[in-house]
Amino acid sequence: MYTGKVYRFIDMARWTRFETLLFLLIILVWVLGYYFLDLEWFRIPWTPMALIGTAVAFIIGFQNNAVYGRIWEARKIWGGIVNTSRTFGVFVQDMVTAEHAHENVSTAQLDEEVKTLIYRHIAWMTALRHAMRSKKDWETTSSHKTNQEWGIRPPETKAELKDDLQPYLSTQDMDYVLSHDNHQTAVLYLQSHHLRKLKERGIVWEFSFLELEGVIQELFTLQGKTERIKNFPYPRQYATLNHYFMWLLLLLLPLALVPQFVDIGKEISENYSLLGKNFIWFAIPIYMAVAWMFHTMERIGRTGENPFEGTANDVPISTISRGIEIDLRQNLGEDKTEIPEQFPTELGVQF
């Protein structure tokens, strides 16, 4: 456990190393200026700095709480997709029967109808996760150098939607889905139309049809919720002001911190001349620690704003979708060798 914490801290340090070097440059400029030049008069009292720091801490805390709420809501929505998908799978297998059929229907035909419905549901999840991974103008976290250097990317960036849908849809269904802008909605329309036809043939009893349509309605609801998070970003006025206020604090902080260390050094010089003269240099690690904490907390908030962007901090919708697919296909009785494996974890990251 301890080793894992150490590795996570090292990864965090690597993730923020460019900004950390910038903090070091900022404080070095001020320390050198106060050490070699007569700048003791150039200072800011601690009172306004404390007010700014308190305001920034509250704003960053508000941002992180709001961002965590978005992430947790996204996770709950996809948890709902898991439960509803399993419900749909068991309903289809038990409600598609020949009990009330208006014509003779073989077991093989029933199995084919069940398979078509289950596979189309997998296609819906595939289209939905591709839509959630599509790039929005405000999603800029993934383009940061430290988020790209590990080279890990979500599966949706490695395959085209058409190729991922091909195993689950007929040619006619594929043409219909790809002709619509909202592919996942088109898939659910196909599901509803198919269920209606099965009801008209008596393969799905009327009461069962209503139950299945209720599941389709729930899938539409869950889809709308996840699309809302994807298409409505964390308000820019909060995110932008947080960033600017944080940097204002970090740029002004040396004007209060370094003179304070100069004053302390003068007091120490009365007994320890060498230590007092060089005490100003202790301002560097103190500033670095404060700046790193404020910046890292603010950046964590920015990173979590978009839980489907495709970064290491995303809700793992690809893994969730593939897990549901494996469950549904195993319960169809398919051989495990025919079912795709779970998406691999890269460097401890699930997408």
Q: What is the pLDDT of residues 302-345, one digit of tens each?
A: 877 888 888 777 889 999 999 999 999 999 998 988 999 998 88
Q: Which two tokens stand for residue 53?
A: 């720091």
- Look at residue 2 and tell me whether its pLDDT is greater than 50: no
- In sequence order, the 6+-apart residues with CB closer than 8 A to the CB of 124 are 184, 187, 188, 191, 219
- Look at residue 6 and tell me whether its pLDDT is greater than 60: no
Mean pLDDT of 241-255: 89
Phi, psi of 187 (to 5 degrees): -65, -40
pLDDT of residue 1: 34
pLDDT of residue 72: 92
Mean pLDDT of 225-239: 84
pLDDT of residue 122: 96
Mean pLDDT of 246-258: 91
pLDDT of residue 3: 42
pLDDT of residue 263: 86
Mean pLDDT of 84-106: 91
pLDDT > 90 fraction of the chain, expressed in percent and rounded: 49
Nearest alpha carbon to residue 323 among 342, 308, 337, 309: 342
Whether the CB-CB separation of 309 and 139 falls below 8 Å is answered with: yes
The region of weakest confidence among 103-112, 164-173, 190-199, 302-311 is 302-311
**CA separation for the pair 73, 67 (Å, rounded):** 10
- Look at residue 146 and tell me whether its pLDDT is greater than 90: no
- Look at residue 239 and tell me whether its pLDDT is greater than 80: no
Phi, psi of 317 (to 5 degrees): -70, -30
Mean pLDDT of all residues belonging to the chain: 87
Q: Grade residue 142 by pLDDT with cuts at 50, 70 and 90.
A: low
Q: Which two tokens stand for residue 297?
A: 């907390």
Nearest alpha carbon to residue 251 among 37, 17, 56: 56
What's the pTM? 0.86
Could you tell me the maximum CA-CA distance found in the chain, to the nearest angstrom? 105
Helices (H), the chain: 2-15, 17-36, 46-95, 107-133, 145-148, 161-165, 171-178, 183-200, 206-231, 236-269, 273-278, 283-303, 317-331
**CA separation for the pair 227, 307 (Å, rounded):** 11
Q: Which two tokens stand for residue 35?
A: 């050490």
- Look at residue 7 and tell me whether its pLDDT is greater than 70: no
pLDDT of residue 166: 93
Mean pLDDT of 178-190: 95
pLDDT of residue 171: 93
**CA separation for the pair 90, 67 (Å, rounded):** 35
Mean pLDDT of 30-36: 89
Q: Which of 3-12, 139-148, 328-337 has the highest mean pLDDT?
A: 328-337
Q: Which two tokens stand for residue 212?
A: 């299945």
**CA separation for the pair 244, 190 (Å, rounded):** 48
